[in-house]
Amino acid sequence: MTLTGIGPNPLAQGLERLPVAPTNLVIFGATGDLARRKLLPAIYNLAHEGALPGFFNLIGVSRGELTHEAYREIAAESIRRFSRTPPDESVLSGLLSELRYVSGGFGDAETYATLSAALEELGAAAGEPMSRVFYLSTAPEYFSVIVGALGAAGLAQSQEFDVRAIIEKPFGTSLAEARQLNAEVLSVFTESQVFRIDHYLGKETVQNMLAFRFANGMFEPLWNRNYIANVQITAAEDIGIESRAGYYDHAGALRDLVENHMMQLLTLLCMEPPVTFSADDVRDEKVKVLHAIRTPRSEEIDQISVRGQYGPGVSGGRPVVGYREEEGVPEDSHTETFAALRLLVDNWRWAGVPFYLRTGKRLARKITEIAVTLRPVPHLAFEQEGSLGVRPNQLVMTIQPNEGVSLSLGAKIPGPRMRIRPVNMEFLYGTAFLSQSPEAYERLILDAMRGEATLFTRNDEVEAQWRICDPIVSAWSGASAALPQYEAGSQGPAEAQALLLEGHQWRAI
Amino acid sequence: MPATNDTVWAAEDTTPAAIEAALRELLIERHSESDGYVPARVLNLVCIVERQWRGEIANRLRRVGRYHASRTIVCAVSEGRRTIDAVAAVAADATPATGEHVLTHETVILDLGPGHLEHLESIVDPLVITDLTTLVWAPHGHWQAVDALRGISQCVLLDSAEDPDVAGALRRAQRLLAERYVVDLAWLRSTPWRERIATLFNQPKRRVLLGEIAQIRIRNVAESGASALLLCGWLTSRLGWPQGQLTRDGHGRAIGAMGEVGVMLESVPQDVPGLGGITIGFRDGSELSLDRGPGGLTARRRDGGGSERSWKLLGASRGEGGILGEGIRQSLLRDPTYRDALDAAAGMLT
C-alpha cells in the first residue's frame, strides 16, 4: 500500500461519528457572550460525546488581560452553566487542561505573533500537522481586521494542513459592506476555507425541511404556483431586546433576522432538488432562488414592506415597557423591531405566489414557522350553512418551539348534516424521535472542522440576500414618516395588513 | 422513567382485547385532561423477564435517559401462572403548560406463565402500536418467547456478554440476524473504541499502517469476551482479512495484508463491563494502544525504538444505563458493519 492512491478509511464506514483531523480551534472574542453561552458549551458537548479529534486544542483570543488559568476558570464556569449535558469533570478538565489564552488587540501584529507561537507549540507537541480553525465571534467591525491580520501573519494558508475561518453573522450591514467584506476575506482565504455561520441552518428542523421536501413524493406535485396560493414565514419573539440594545438599535429587525435566517428558510422552501447533497450543489440551488427574487424598486418599497416598533404593553401577563424605554435605546430611536415583506420569486415554479415574511420582537408569542396555504378547491358541493367553512388546506412547518409539521384538512362534523370544519393532522418531531437534537453550534463547529460546508452560507448567497434587502434598509433609514407602533404582546402593527393581497390573511401568531 | 403523573388501569385474569381497550381509554382520558399531552410514537419495546427480577429490569429501563420506548410491554413470567393479570399506565414527565406539549409513554405489565410464551404473539400483537418498530428484549433468556414474536418484531435487543458461552451467544445473534435486525449491547460497548481506532488511522500516512499490522491484543473484563471478539471481528472484516482463528485461551491468528497477524484476547480486572484496552502492533515493532481511563481513552504510540508518547481522547463514559439507551436508539438505525463483524467474530471460534 502506498500513500498515492490510498483509498478512503475502511474503518470509518458505518460509524455515526466520522473521524475529524487533529485541530487547533481559535476563538476570537473568547470572553464574549456568544463564546461563553454557546461556543464553549458546544465544544464541551462534542468532547463529552467523544466527537473531538484526539489532538484538539482550544485557544481563546480577546482584548482583556487574562492568564491562561483565569480564562480556564471562565470557560469552566460557562460550560457548567450553559452546557446541555451536565459536565463530566474528568472530560471538562481534560478539555481545558491545555486551553490557552492570547490577550491583545485584534489589529495588533503582536497578538498574532503570540497566537502563531502558541499554534506552533501545540502543533509541535502533537507531533503531526493540525488543522487550524479560526472562529470569529467578535463584533462585526473586527471581521476584516482579524482576517487581514491572519493573512499578514501568514496564518491563513498552509501546504501541510487545512486552515478554515468561521465567520459569525451579521456578514455586513448592507450590500456594499457585504461585498467589501467578501472581497477582503477572499483576498486572504479561498471560498472553500470560509464558513459563514448562520446557526439557524444547524437546527435539525431546518435541515428537516430538505428531508420533508425531497424524501417525500406526495408534496412535490403540489409544490408550485398551480396549487400554492401564498406562503408565510414568521419568526416571532415574545421577548424584547433584553441586554442587546447596543447591537439591536443599529441592526433592527430586517438586518437581525430577515436578511439571513428568513431568507435561508425561503431558499430551502423554494429551491429545486439538488443533484446531490454536496455543499455546492445545495448552495447553487439556493442561490438560484435568491436570483429569482427581484431587487425591490424604491417606488414600491412602501407597498411590499412594513416596519414597526413596539410600544408599552403586556407580555406574559406582565406590563412591559416600549422599545424606546428599554435600557440603552435612544428615546428617539427609529429602529424597527418588526419587519414584514411581500416578495415574489420570479421563476417557472413560483411566479405569482406571494411570499410573506414577518418577524418581530415583543409579539404575542415565540414561534418560527412556515405556512404554505394551498389554493381552495375549485367547486364545493357542500352547503356552507352551519359549517365553520371549508378553508384552503394549510401545511405548517414549525421550526420552534414545537418542531413539527401540521396539515389542516376539512372534515365532517359528526351529525346528520354534512357540515365541515378544519381539523389538523399533526406530526411533532418530539413524538417520533428518541434522540435529543444537538445544539446547532455543535453540528456546525464539527462540520467546519471536517470542511463540510453545506450548512454554511456562500459568498454569492450573502450578496444575493443583501441585494434584496438593501433597498429596503436604505429606504427605511431615509424615511421621515413616523414609525408605526404596535402594542407589546400583540400581533404586530396593523399596517402589516396592507401587505396582504386580496383574500389572504396573516396567521395568528 | 421519571414520570410525574400516571394514569393507571389494572385487571386480573384479563385478555389482550380488554387491555387494548383500557389503553385507548387511558389515552382519551389523558387527552381530555389537556390536549398538551401527546403520545410518543417511535418504538414498541417488548421485554420478557422473570417476574421475580422485573424490578431490576424496571430500574435498568429507568436509567436509559430520554431513550424510552413509546410503549413498553413487560411480560413478567412466573412458574405456575395460567391466567394473565395486567397493569397499564400512561405516564407523562410533566404537566403541560399552555401552548406546550408533553410526551406521554405507555407501559403495560403482564403477569403470565411459561405456558403463554409459545403463543406470546397472540397476546402481544393487539397491544403493540401498529406501524412502529417493535423491539424484543429477553434479558433473562426466554429465547422461546423471542422466537414466538418473530412475526411482529423487527428487531431483537440482546447482550452477548451475558451468556458465558460466547460462541453460542454469537451463533444465536447470527441466527436471529437472519430474520430480524439485532442490536447487541456487547457490540455497542465497542463503539467508542471503533470510532477512536478509525480516528487513529484516518490520516493517509497512518492508514498505510493498516497493511503493516502484525499483532492485535485486546484487553477486556472476563465477562466481556463477546465485545472483544466483536471488536476483533470488526477490525478484520473492515480490513478484508480472511477468517481468523482463536483458541479457547484467547490466543490465535488472522491473515493480514502482509501475512500472519497474532491475535490475543486478555482478561483484565475492571470495575465496569466492556473493553479495557487494545494494542495494535506493527511489523516494524511500533505499537498503537488505547486504554480506558477517566475522561476518555488514553492513546499511546510507541515507535520501533521504544520511545513513547501518549495523549487523551476525550469522552464521557455512558455507563450501563447509557448503553441500554443506546441499544434502544440503535433499533431504529442500521449499522452496515455489524453483520460482517459478527460473522468474522463467530468464525474465529469455529
Verify whether residue A250 is a known catalytic residue. Answer: no
Q: pTM here?
A: 0.90
Cβ-contact A312, A488 below 8 angstroms: yes
Angle between helices A40-48 and A89-96 (to 10 degrees): 120
pLDDT at B305 over 60: yes
Residues whose CB is less than 8 angstroms from the CB of residue A450 and which lie 6 or more positions away in sequence, other chains included: A18, A20, A21
pLDDT-based confidence at residue A7 (cuts at 50, 70, 90): confident
pLDDT at B1 over 50: no
Please report the pLDDT score of residue B148 as a whole number. Answer: 96
Q: Is B332 within 8 Å of A434 when comparing Cβ atoms?
A: yes
Please report the pLDDT score of residue A410 as a whole number. Answer: 86
Q: What is the dihedral of CA A449, A452, A457, A461, to 10 degrees?
A: 150
pLDDT-based confidence at residue B6 (cuts at 50, 70, 90): confident
Higher-scoring residue by pLDDT: A349, A2: A349
Mean pLDDT of A176-187: 96
pLDDT at A37 over 90: yes
H helix or E strand, kind and range, residue A207: helix A204-214
**Helices assigned H by DSSP within A292-381:** 301-304
Residue B19 touches chain A, beta carbons under 8 Å:
no
What is the C-alpha end-to-end distance of chain B, expressed in Å? 42
% of chain A surpassing 90 pLDDT: 77
Please report the pLDDT score of residue A185 as a whole number. Answer: 97
Mean pLDDT in chain B?
A: 92
Please report the pLDDT score of residue A243 as a whole number. Answer: 81
- From chain B residues 31-60, the ones with a CB under 8 A of any chain A CB are 38-43
B64–chain A nearest CA distance, Å: 11
What is the C-alpha end-to-end distance of chain A, expressed in Å? 62
Q: Which of B67, B208, B299 sits opposite A434 (nearest CB)?
A: B67
Cell 482583556 maps to which residue? A64
Mean pLDDT of A459-473: 96
pLDDT at A1 over 90: no
B171–chain A nearest CA distance, Å: 22
Evaluate the CA torsion angle A245, A255, A214, A508 in order and state its sign: positive
A48–chain B nearest CA distance, Å: 5
Q: Which residues of A touch B192 (CB under 8 A)?
A: 50
DSSP state of A363: B
Please report the pLDDT score of residue A329 as a whole number. Answer: 95
pLDDT at B330 over 80: yes
Distance CA B177, CA B154 (A): 10
The residue annotated as part of the active site, out of A199, A261, A379, A504, is A261
The x, y and z cell numbers of residue A378, run together, are: 375549485
Please report the pLDDT score of residue A246 as a whole number. Answer: 86
% of chain B surpassing 90 pLDDT: 75
Mean pLDDT of B225-243: 94
Write the pLDDT tens digit of every residue in A44-79.
999 999 999 989 999 999 999 999 999 999 999 999
Write the pLDDT tens digit of every residue in B116-148.
999 999 999 999 999 899 999 999 999 999 999
Q: Kindly report the length of chain A.
A: 509
Write the pLDDT tens digit of every residue in A433-458.
876 677 899 999 999 999 999 999 99
Cβ-contact A286, A461 below 8 angstroms: yes
Please report the pLDDT score of residue A386 as a whole number. Answer: 60
H helix or E strand, kind and range, residue B143: helix B143-148
Q: Are strands A228-236 and A354-360 parallel, antiparallel or unpaired?
A: parallel
Q: Does residue A401 have a cis bond before it (omega within 30 degrees)?
A: yes
Cell 418531531 maps to which residue? A429
DSSP state of A203: S
Q: Is B99 within 8 Å of A365 when comparing Cβ atoms?
A: yes
Flag the least confident range among A194-198, B25-29, B294-298, B302-306.
B302-306
pLDDT at B324 over 60: yes
pLDDT at B3 over 70: no
Cell 405456575 maps to which residue? B80
Q: Which of A12, A128, A428 sits opposite B198 (nearest CB)?
A: A12
Mean pLDDT in chain A?
A: 92
H helix or E strand, kind and range, residue B220: strand B213-220
Q: What is the ipTM of this complex?
A: 0.89
Q: Is B41 within 8 Å of A3 when comparing Cβ atoms?
A: no
Residue B67 touches chain A, beta carbons under 8 Å:
yes
